[in-house]
Amino acid sequence: MMFGSINSSGAVIDCIAEGSAYDIVLPNQTERVQNIAVDIGGSLAKVVYYTTAAVGRHGGGRLHFKAFETDHLDQCIEFMCGLVDRSRIRDPTDGPTGEPVIMATGGGAHRFGEELRSRLGVEIRVVDEMESLTAGLNFLMREVADEVFTYSEARGQKFVGPVSETEDLFPYMLVNIGSGVSILKVTGEGQYERISGTSLGGGTFWGLLHELTGVTSFDAMLETTKSGDNTKVDMMVGDIYGTNYDKIGLKATNIAATMAGVYRKGLDKQYSDADIARSLLYMVSNNIGQIAYLNAQLHGIRRIYFGGYFIRGHPLTMHTLSYAIDFWSKGMISALFLRHEGYLGATGALLRGEAAPTRRRACSFTENFSVAEPAAGDSSGVSALGMLDQQADRLERLPQLALPYVPDTVDLAADEGQRLAWLAALERSAHELVGLVERGALDAGSGDRVDVGKIRAFSILYARHLQRLGAQPLAYGALTVRGILGLREQCLREVGLGDVFAAVKRRETAAALGAFSECVALTDVLTDRERLLALLGNALAGNMFDWGASELHGALASGALDLAAARAQISYSPQRLNNPGTFADRVIAQGYRKVLVFVDNSGADVVLGVLPLARFLTQTGATVVLAANSRPALNDVTEGELKDIVAEAALVDESLAAAVEEERLLVCASGSAGPCVDLRRLDPHLVALAQAADLVILVGMARAIVSNYHARFTCDSLRIAVFKNKMTADAAGANVFDSLCLYVPGGED
The helix-helix angle for 416-438 and 452-471 (nearest 10°) equals 170
Q: Which range, of 550-554, 664-668, 697-701, averages the lowest pLDDT?
A: 550-554
Say whether pLDDT at 646 is over 70.
Answer: yes
Which H or E run includes 654? helix 654-661
Give the per-residue pLDDT at 78: 96
Q: Which of 172-181, 273-282, 315-324, 591-600 has the highest mean pLDDT?
A: 591-600
pLDDT tens for each residue of 524-553: 999 999 999 999 999 999 888 765 555 544
Q: CA–CA separation, 386 vs 4, rounded Å?
A: 10
Q: CA–CA separation, 307 vs 525, rounded Å?
A: 67
C-alpha distances (whole Å) from 595 to each of 390, 585, 693 are 30, 16, 5
Choose from 8-17, 257-266, 344-353, 567-576 the range with maximum mean pLDDT: 344-353
Structure confidence at residue 347 (pLDDT)? 95
Give residues with Cβ within 8 angstroms of 392, minimum separation 6: 58, 59, 60, 363
pLDDT in tens, 501-527: 999 899 889 999 999 999 999 999 999
How far apart, in whole angstroms, are the C-alpha atoms of residue 296 and residue 299? 5
Residue 305 backbone dihedrals phi, psi, to 5 degrees: -100, 135
Share of the chain above pLDDT 70, in %: 87
At 30, the pLDDT band (50, 70, 90 cuts) reads low
Kind of pairing, strands 335-338 and 304-307?
parallel
- pLDDT for res 164: 57
For residues 570 and 519, which has the higher predicted lDDT (pLDDT)?
519
* 405-436 per-residue burial string, b: 16 or more CB within 10 A, e: under 16: bebbbbbbbeeeebbebbbebbbebbeebbeb
| pLDDT tens digits for range 284-313 | 999 999 999 999 999 999 999 999 888 888
CA-based nearest residue to 572, from 556, 583, 588:
583
The top-scoring range by mean pLDDT among 4-18, 157-171, 245-259 is 245-259
CA distance 315 to 123: 40
Count of CB atoms within 10 A of residue 95's CB? 7
Quick check: 628 and 641 in contact, CB under 8 A?
yes
pLDDT of residue 356: 57
Rounded to an integer, the average pLDDT of 664-681 is: 96
pLDDT band at 446 (very low <50, low <70, confident <90, very high): low
| CA atoms within a 13 Å half-sphere pointing along the CA-CB vector of 652 | 15
Read off the amino acid at residue 207: G
Q: How many CB atoms lie within 10 A of CB 661?
A: 10
Using alpha carbons, select from 628, 629, 623, 627 the residue that is nearest to residue 595.
623
Closest CA to 412 of 480, 485, 486: 480
pTM equals 0.88
**181 bridge partner residues:** 177, 198
pLDDT 10s digits, 230-266 = 999 988 898 888 898 888 888 888 888 988 888 776 6
* Separation between Cα atoms, residue 582 and residue 344, nearest integer Å: 52
Q: Compute the mean pLDDT over every residue in the chain, rounded to the nearest whole number.
A: 87
Scanning 356-501, the segments in alpha helix (DSSP H) are 416-438, 452-471, 481-494
Strand partners, 335: 304
Which strand (E) or helix (H) includes residue 66?
Answer: strand 62-69
Q: Residue 7's pLDDT is what?
A: 38
Q: Is the pLDDT of residue 11 over 60?
A: no
C-alpha 493/C-alpha 63 separation (Å) is: 17
| C-alpha to C-alpha distances, 17 to 21, 431, 454, 459, 476, nearest whole angstrom | 6, 18, 17, 15, 27
CA distances from 589 to 584, 665, 714 (A): 8, 22, 20
Cα separation, 346 vs 105, whole angstroms: 7
Q: What is the pLDDT of residues 149-162, one digit of tens each?
A: 999 988 889 998 77
Phi, psi of 707 (to 5 degrees): -125, 150
User: Which range has the worst mean pLDDT, 359-368, 535-544, 621-630, 644-653?
Assistant: 359-368
Q: How far apart are CA 333 and CA 304, in angstroms?
A: 8
CB under 8 Å to 404, separation ≥6 — which residues? none
Q: Residue 333 carries which side chain, given as an amino acid letter?
A: I
Element (H, E) at 133: helix 129-143
Using alpha carbons only, what angle is made at residue 371 by residues 367 and 373, rounded to the nearest 5 degrees? 85
Q: What percent of the chain has pLDDT over 90?
A: 66
Sign of CA pseudo-dihedral 367, 373, 379, 382: positive
Residue of 404, 170, 423, 453 whose CA lies nearest to 302:
170
Question: Which ranges of 310-415 does DSSP label H, i.e. alpha helix?
Answer: 315-328, 344-351
What pLDDT score does 165 carry?
52
* Residues in Cβ contact with 555 at an 8 Å cutoff, skipping those fewer than 6 apart: 561, 565
The Cα–Cα gap between 286 and 201 comes to 11
If residue 279 lies in a helix (H) or strand (E), which one and from where to where? Answer: helix 273-299
- Give per-residue pLDDT as tens, 343-359: 999 999 999 886 555 54
